[in-house]
Structure 1
Amino acid sequence: MSAAFEKLPVSNLRGVDAAPSTTSGPDGSKLIDLSWLAMLAWRHKWAMLAVIGCALAATLAAYMLAVKQYDANVVLALDRNDQQLVRTAQTDKDTAVDSPTVDTEVQVLLSPEVATAAVRNARLNTNPAFIAAGAPDIAGPLSIPAATAIVRSNLTVGRQGLSYAINLGYKSRDPAVAASVANAVADAYVSGNVQSEQSARSQDINMLRTRLDQLRGDVIKAEAAVAAYRAKSDLVSVSNDSTIAQQELSTLNTELASAKAELAASQGRASANAGENGTAVNSSPVIRDLRTDVSRLEVKLAEQSSVYGPNHPDRVKTQAQLTTARQALSREVSRASSGVRSDISVDSQRVGAIQSAIGSAKGRLLAGNNASVRLNELERVAESSRQLYQTFLDRYRVELATRGTEKSKAQVIARAQVPVRPSSPDLLVYMLGGLIAGIIAAVLLAMALEWRERGLRTRAETEEFTGYEVVSSLPDIGTMDEPDFRRNDALGVPDFVVEHRESPFSESVRAIWTALKIGHKGQLARSVGVTSSIPGEGKTSTAIALARSTALAGRRTLLVDCDMRRMGTTLALGLRNRPGLVEVLNGQARIEDVIVLDEASGAHVLPLNTELTAQSDIMHSQATAAMFDRFRQEYDFVVLDIAPAIPVAEARAIATMADLTLMVVRWRTTQRKVVKTAIRELDRAGARIFGIILTQVDTRSSAVLSEEMAYYQYYYSRESRPN
């Protein structure tokens, strides 16, 4: 037998058709099998829809029984401007409200203080409607803490987006109570803001008053210290960094310069008047007259000396007069020179006195400067005390002026109205939740039903489990909306192949012998056995349909009924009470006499009309193998309808005599362990299994699964349309 008929592994048969899923992991494995999910939903759609319907009905009932809640909402807006009516340098600044401030006010609205104030102001703890809505099990008035707890548990506060508006909502069974409580909380918050502003202002005024008293004493002490130090340091006044000593020193320096100039002049005059030719001597009229007299007497004495003798009375007289005149001149010159020297002494003394006064003034100036440093420090302290005192005094006046003008930092821009419709339960939310719960329950139910199924459902699953290629998937014709299909007729399926040659079912049958290359070069087998694991999987209908399809294609085909227990092919074709396979093997009939022509397709049929009991071993004989060899020589294709492999032992023996064996598996029905057992028995017997044929596949589910018949239907339903 040809090596081409040996077992072919799936990995060699799949080729390039097994494209990876778009939803695959790094290693190529599927993360989410969408096709399996779609198949799951389609197969169990009615059960899933029933579960979803029950969930929606239960949700609707729960909605009808749920307690209705009403929401009332108040909208408050924070004032972004300064609240001061009297603005000063200290208050005239940007006080715009920022985002954290809005969030802080939201928390203030949720605080117990605001809720307690609302309860007290509106007397909610004694309001029957509030008690009935918030605590229906309690009779009589509530305590303020209990009423506050109810208010806070039903109160919601939130900022509206990024705006400066705050939404305050209150939920209650009574719509009127919801509106009244929401308004009460808003009023308590606004009035609380005013009261807190007033309280804060009163505290500020008291603090400022106390501080002003302290600062006033500080100013008085600082100014007294300045005055005492000025008096102690003899600093009467200080102007432009000058003191009395500085003014005196400036005057003395001027006088010193003048005195030095006069001294220099005196010294110059003294130098000029030194001797008899000094300027002062020459300029004196007395000295000039005396010099004239001396000159005249000298002339007269010279004249007399030439005339008279030394003892002449006139000469002696003149000599005496000359001596007297010269003495008088000498005295006068000496007097004039001593006057100039006395001027130098006077001027020198004046310079020394001025220099002494300057030294004294400098000493006083240095002492005054040292005293000014301390004085300036005391004056700065006094000035800062005065400024601080003035600042607090101005702030104190502002606070007094603005007392009673306090406003709330927030205002109500929309008061709560009595709601007309309940806010909860929300029918849409309820139904959406019920739908989600129903879908989850439906999926769980479908998965549970799927888990209970033991059959093979897809080509990929079948190939992965069995290790063999799925040669073809034969659709359930009853799911193909074919009105002329005879479901309960034994020849319903084979006749459908003949009557509807272009149908998806016929194409699926043709795929079987196409895979075997029947009638082509390199044909894989001349004889093919068709078997199944257990009865009821459609192996006889498949065998007849395969034989008829091959014969209709012009191939000389023989169909042999080898099921010695049920004789399905013989019964389906109406060939009872005729000699057949057993008679040929026993030598009671010739092959030419027992082979029947199937007029519908042109195929030849070898029936089986004798149930073997003790003679069942005849199927294991050499005669059977020889007969099958003869068939291979005379026909293009031989189809053996073999009994199920598990319950009938001789079925496995006949399968070994065929070139290849096709295993029929009913879609979603044949259990996995049964298929596994049948394949193991056939392998053990030596049968060469070519592949698997899935039968009675639901075309509606297969369309979801992208099986080939879905594409067949798509194509054939459009075959009349131009491409």
Structure 2
Amino acid sequence: MNDEREYPDRTGGGNGRDSGDLLAGRRGGELAERSGDGDEAITTAYYEVADEEEVNLRDYIGVLLHRRWTVATALVVCVLATLIFSLVSTPMYEATALLQIQPGGPNILSFEDVQESMALSQAYNDFFQTQYDILSSRRLATRTIDKLGLDADPWLNGDLERSTFLGRTKAWIASLVASEDEDPELAALAKRQKLIDKFIDHVRVKPRRKSFLVEVSFRSPDPETSAEVANTMAREYVDLTLDQRIEAAAQGRDFIAKQLAVTKARLEESEEQLQEFARGRDLYALEQEEKVIHERLADLNNRLTEAQGERISLEAAYQQATGPDHSNLPAVVASPLIKSLKEELSKAEAEYAALSGRFTDAYPQVRTLKARIEQIRSSIAQEENEIISSIKADYEAAVAREEMLREQLEAQRKVVAAYEEKAIDFKIMKREVDTNRGIYENLLRRLKEVEVTEAIRASNITLVDSPEVPLEPASPNIPLNLALSSLLGLFAGVGLAFFQDYMDDSLKSPDDVERYLRLPTLGAVPVLKGAPEEERDKSEKRQRRERGKDDAPSADLEVVLRPTSSGAEAIRTLRASLFLAAPGGAPGRLLISSAKPGEGKTCIAINLGAALAQMGRRVVVVDCDLRRPRIHKAIGLSQSPGVTNYLTGNVALDEVIRDSGQAGLDIVTAGPIPPNPVDLLDSVGMGELIRDLEERYDHIVIDTPPALGFADVPVLSNRLGGACLLVTRAGDTSRRLARQACEYLIRMQSKLLGVVLNRVASRSTGYSYYGYYGYYGYYSHYGEYYKKRPEDETQPALENTA
């Protein structure tokens, strides 16, 4: 083929881009590369992948399935450790006593008013919490230990533990670090404190909800000891509360007795001072005299108020009487004399009016009536004046009475003030006497109550259920421990699995390649197994040996030896991807490299060459890995003559081209390893070799050294042109290393088509990509069918089946 063959640019052309665009912030597109003569050739394609992709439940399940052995190991380790610990642990028996605790207790001083103002719920909570603390206190533990003599108990004092191997080892270590001049008393005190601490650690106080009941439990290796200790603790707790109550009552009695004597002396002294003050001021009947003068003051005040009201009423009547019209005065209107006079006047005026119409004023009877009318009117006026004089007299009398009462009230007030000033000291002294007498009486009453309380041995705590000897150990609870350890192991395994997955920096799926490398995955090849040993044709092996070839490992010829396997289908998928990845179909020159050794680039190169040959194409695989060549071992050929022999001019081209045994596929081995591989690969002879091979073959597949650390791949890419494939190993090649390799190849103007993910574990469950080639298993069902076919029918399929 012609080295100058052009491929149309799918994106309309483009220049090479900086390698930094590969990983950070670059947009989707294709990085166009050009051949040495300036014509557009193959482009380096990359994808735009979202920085943050949605993670669904399937991804998490895939992580757990992939790391299932980690989860299972953590689970098994936790369960086994718990089981062993439970089996070797000393059985502990728990006995429980049930107590009823009623709120209440001795009330030495009366604080009912204070208690009523408190929140009862808070008071109850504080009370019960105090009782729980007393049940687990060192004082109660000490009383119980002394009561039962538990200092000699071998489990509690540590003798049983020190008798074991571990205990003897601890004691020996302690003796090495202990000082020789240690005080025996301090050592005994420390031992005693450890005993009490161990006792308290095995005491459990559990209140029952919504009740006054409390469970007090004790655990020990001996069931009878557990029951005896729990019973003794309950009874000692009752006795302790009684002792505390009696002690509090005794202290209160002593305090009250002392205060009572002081208060009595103070009362007697205040009474004596009051008597002496009263004798000197003549205040023996102070209360009676004070009552009389205050009552007189109040009476005068009331009488003055009544006089003021009466005076105001009379003043209003007097003001009306001094007016021009007197006929409308209430007293005038109510006077019977004036009423009769007015009636008589009305009759006289009526007669006068009747006579005056017929007679003149000179008529005697008319003159008589007129004189009578004048007389009646004069009587009415005289009577009104008398009434007005009476009103005036009453008003003046009311004013005089009011003034007199006011003077008497003022005088009485002066008397009261003088008396109050005289008796104020007496009242102060009397109030002090009353106060001392009240305190004395209260203390005397409380003293009698405390004496009664001290005499009565009553408790607010009742032993409801006595502890029984336990028949079964309370711990270790093996089913519960195993359940909890299973849960803990499961959580630990899941956490460890996700941590391992987080720390795993390798490329595991095509999604990882596209996400982290921004390059397409052209193929995902599972682990190649090759043909079984018994299926190899012995005559074919003999023919290979006769031709100077060794027996070839089957995995490197998967496409030939197992054409129906999932590995062969993956290689053919890679072949199809190559026809779609480059313009104009599969490239004539194809360089295959990897980021590091051991990733399977040689295996991919050989199988890809065989797959292309099965399409009827003429293919040659050239081993340009002059540092660590392996193609001759994979095919079963001798290493020489090869590329280095041809480049040094020692042999002709026909001598280095070797038959692989597969129709359409030839091999050019590396030859002897030279001291200067880069110089040979960058020589003019290398270009001539590729051009000569291109005239004979449709495709040239070149196996190159790893990209990182060597200049071979960029030199070959620039010298020979063509496309490049990067082979990575699933679960082994780190993202960082693969990213560096891609950056290096693109920076060196290599035409990187994409990535081949090798050794994908297709049968493993886990990440979604493990099912990527699951459909290849479909072809394995026809394995028996191919085995039963005659050899002459299968041979064309091996050589020509696409």
Shared fold, TM over 0.5:
yes
> Per-residue deviation at 1:561?
3.2
Whole-Å separation in 2 of the counterparts to 1:445 and 1:89? 64
Q: Where does residue 689 of structure 2 map in the other structure?
A: 624
- CA 1:171–1:490 in 2, change beyond 3 Å: closer, same or farther? closer
| Secondary structure, aligned partner of 2:772 | helix
Q: Where does residue 772 of structure 2 map in the other structure?
A: 711
Q: Where does residue 661 of structure 1 map in the other structure?
A: 724
Mapping of residues 32-47 of structure 1, within 5 Å: 41=67, 45=69
Whether 1:150 and 2:195 are equivalent positions in the alignment is yes
CA contact (8 A) 2:106 2:245 kept: no
Q: Where does residue 288 of structure 2 map in the other structure?
A: 239
Whole-Å separation in 2 of the counterparts to 1:536 and 1:235? 125
| Secondary structure, aligned partner of 1:171 | strand
Q: Where does residue 175 of structure 2 map in the other structure?
A: none
> Per-residue deviation at 1:493?
1.8
Whole-Å separation in 1 of the counterparts to 2:727 and 2:580? 19
Match for residue 102 of structure 2 among 75, 79, 82 = 79
Q: Where does residue 136 of structure 1 map in the other structure?
A: 159
Whole-Å separation in 2 of the counterparts to 1:246 and 1:572? 137
> Per-residue deviation at 1:192?
1.4
CA contact (8 A) 1:106 1:157 kept: no
Aligned residues: 578
- CA 1:527–1:197 in 2, change beyond 3 Å: closer, same or farther? same
Q: Where does residue 70 of structure 1 map in the other structure?
A: 93
Q: Where does residue 494 of structure 1 map in the other structure?
A: 559
Mapping of residues 95-114 of structure 1, within 5 Å: 97-114=123-140
Residue deviations 1:464-508, cap 9 Å, x none?
999976532211155999x999996367621478536xx586256
Q: Where does residue 119 of structure 1 map in the other structure?
A: 145
CA contact (8 A) 2:223 2:469 kept: yes
Whole-Å separation in 2 of the counterparts to 1:36 and 1:545? 30
Residue deviations 1:129-165, cap 9 Å, x none?
x3455443699xx999966752442223545387655
Whole-Å separation in 1 of the counterparts to 2:659 and 2:441? 134
Match for residue 699 of structure 1 among 756, 759, 762 = 762
Whole-Å separation in 1 of the counterparts to 2:240 and 2:284? 60
Which of 410-419 and 160-169 deviates more? 160-169
Residue deviations 1:529-551, cap 9 Å, x none?
44568997654653454356567
Whole-Å separation in 2 of the counterparts to 1:480 and 1:185? 80
Length-normalised TM-score, structure 1: 0.59
- CA 1:480–1:666 in 2, change beyond 3 Å: closer, same or farther? farther
| Secondary structure, aligned partner of 1:197 | helix
Whether 1:415 and 2:466 are equivalent positions in the alignment is yes
Mapping of residues 155-194 of structure 1, within 5 Å: 155=200, 156-158=203-205, 160=207, 165-194=213-242
> Per-residue deviation at 1:235?
3.5
Q: Where does residue 546 of structure 1 map in the other structure?
A: 608
- CA 1:38–1:484 in 2, change beyond 3 Å: closer, same or farther? farther
Amino acid at match of 2:701: L
CA contact (8 A) 1:472 1:508 kept: yes
CA contact (8 A) 1:510 1:549 kept: no
Which of 658-667 and 646-655 deviates more? 646-655
- CA 1:704–1:372 in 2, change beyond 3 Å: closer, same or farther? same
Mapping of residues 435-446 of structure 1, within 5 Å: none
Q: Where does residue 443 of structure 2 map in the other structure?
A: 392
Whether 1:16 and 2:78 are equivalent positions in the alignment is no
Length-normalised TM-score, structure 2: 0.54
- CA 1:98–1:620 in 2, change beyond 3 Å: closer, same or farther? same
Amino acid at match of 1:202: A
CA contact (8 A) 2:48 2:518 kept: no
> Per-residue deviation at 1:665?
4.5
Q: Where does residue 619 of structure 2 map in the other structure?
A: 559
Mapping of residues 598-677 of structure 1, within 5 Å: 604-606=664-666, 620=685, 623-630=688-695, 635=698, 638-640=699-701, 642=703, 656-657=719-720, 659-667=722-730
- CA 1:671–1:143 in 2, change beyond 3 Å: closer, same or farther? closer
CA contact (8 A) 2:49 2:518 kept: no
Which of 87-96 and 393-402 deviates more? 87-96
Match for residue 424 of structure 2 among 373, 379, 385 = 373
Q: Where does residue 332 of structure 1 map in the other structure?
A: none
Percent identity, please: 16
> Per-residue deviation at 1:191?
0.7
Mapping of residues 247-258 of structure 1, within 5 Å: none
> Per-residue deviation at 1:193?
1.0
Q: Which has the larger radius of gyration?
A: 1
Amino acid at match of 1:626: R
- CA 1:563–1:221 in 2, change beyond 3 Å: closer, same or farther? closer
- CA 1:711–1:680 in 2, change beyond 3 Å: closer, same or farther? closer
- CA 1:598–1:114 in 2, change beyond 3 Å: closer, same or farther? closer
Whole-Å separation in 2 of the counterparts to 1:504 and 1:588? 33
| Secondary structure, aligned partner of 1:562 | strand
Q: Where does residue 257 of structure 1 map in the other structure?
A: none
- CA 1:716–1:412 in 2, change beyond 3 Å: closer, same or farther? same
Q: Where does residue 294 of structure 1 map in the other structure?
A: none
| Secondary structure, aligned partner of 1:188 | helix
Whole-Å separation in 2 of the counterparts to 1:365 and 1:645? 125
- CA 1:442–1:380 in 2, change beyond 3 Å: closer, same or farther? closer
CA contact (8 A) 2:63 2:767 kept: no
- CA 1:680–1:199 in 2, change beyond 3 Å: closer, same or farther? closer
Mapping of residues 332-411 of structure 1, within 5 Å: 368-411=419-462
Match for residue 196 of structure 1 among 231, 234, 244 = 244
CA contact (8 A) 1:628 1:657 kept: no
Match for residue 211 of structure 1 among 259, 277, 280 = 259
Q: Where does residue 528 of structure 1 map in the other structure?
A: 590
Amino acid at match of 1:175: P
| Secondary structure, aligned partner of 2:240 | helix
CA contact (8 A) 2:558 2:568 kept: no
Whole-Å separation in 2 of the counterparts to 1:671 and 1:390? 94
> Per-residue deviation at 1:197?
1.3
| Consecutive unaligned residues in structure 1, runs of 5 or more | 25-32, 255-356
Compute the RMSD of aligned alpha carbons. 6.5
| Secondary structure, aligned partner of 1:176 | helix
> Per-residue deviation at 1:716?
8.1
| Secondary structure, aligned partner of 1:98 | helix
